[in-house]
Structure formats: structure tokens, C-alpha cells
Amino acid sequence: MKSTYTITGAIEKEIEDIAKRLCPMQNRLENGKLQVRKTSRVVNGSDFTKEQVEAFEKVNNVHVEANKLYVQKGTEPVLINHKINLCKEYSKKGREGIESYIKMINAIVEAFQQKKKDEQSDGSKASN
């Protein structure tokens, strides 16, 4: 028999607070690549910095004028929605689900930090 837990207003508020404290993490696709979304925004030519003007002119082969509008395209990371994941875990396992989700996220963050430390120490050894 499958037991489910109901999310009340108080539980949802608690889940929101927990989600805000968790480290933001980029979502991964099924193939393991980090997920990004394409973005575009309209920018006034006068809002560009000198470096942005030079880069824009070089890429687009256009002279940037201060009084014209330009479309600036780019990408941004798609982050994991901890609130949704915590709600799903609570619905399945109650508070135990929330605790296991937090432990999993903290373990991932610790592993990443350790890997970063190891890479830095390997880099400093290689330069000696």
C-alpha cells in the first residue's frame, strides 16, 4: 500500500524556506550535459559598455549607435527547482523524504567542493 503525505500551508512554507537555503544547482539533461536556455533581450545602444560595443560590432559587423535598440542574445543556466523536488519527496515519504533530499544535495555540494580542492592542489603541484 502506497502512503502519501498531504502538503499543508505550513508544510509548504517550511519547504519554501528550506529550498531558499539550499545551494543553487544547474539542472542536467538525460545525456549528462548541463541544461541551459537561450535568452534574448532588447538593449539600448547607450547601455552597452565599451567592451560590449567592440564585441557586438565585431560579431555582427554593425556600428552600434547610442539611440538605437539592439537584441542581445545569450544563454543562462537552468537551475534545479528545489521547492518542487522537496514537495515531491514530502508527498512520497513525509519529513524523511525532505531530510534525505537535503542530505543528497549537501553530499553533491561537498563532492564538488572536494573535487575543486583536489584540482587546485594538483595544479599547484604541477607548477612546482
Which tens digit of pLDDT belongs to each residue from 7-63? 999 999 999 999 999 999 999 999 999 999 999 999 899 998 999 899 888 988 888
Q: Are 69 and 45 in contact (CB under 8 A)?
A: yes
DSSP per-residue string spanning 39-95: EEEEEEGGGS-HHHHHHHHHHH-----TTSEEEEEEEEEPBP-HHHHHHHHHHHHTH
CA 57 vs CA 61, 65, 104: distances in Å: 5, 10, 46
Q: Domain locations in the chain?
A: 1-24+81-117, 26-79
What are 104's three cell numbers? 543528497
Higher pLDDT pick, 103 / 128: 103
| The three three-digit cell numbers of residue 115, written as one number | 573535487
Separation CA 79–CA 82 (nearest Å)? 9
Query: With the CA atoms of 105, 107, 108 and 110 taken in that order, what torsion angle do they form, in degrees rounded to the nearest 10?
Result: 120
Confidence of residue 119 (pLDDT cuts 50, 70, 90): confident
Asked if residue 124 has pLDDT above 70, the reply is no
Residue 1 has pLDDT above 80, yes or no: no
How far is 54 from 79, CA to CA, in rounded Å?
31
Q: Tell me what percent of the residues of the chain surpass a pLDDT of 70.
A: 93
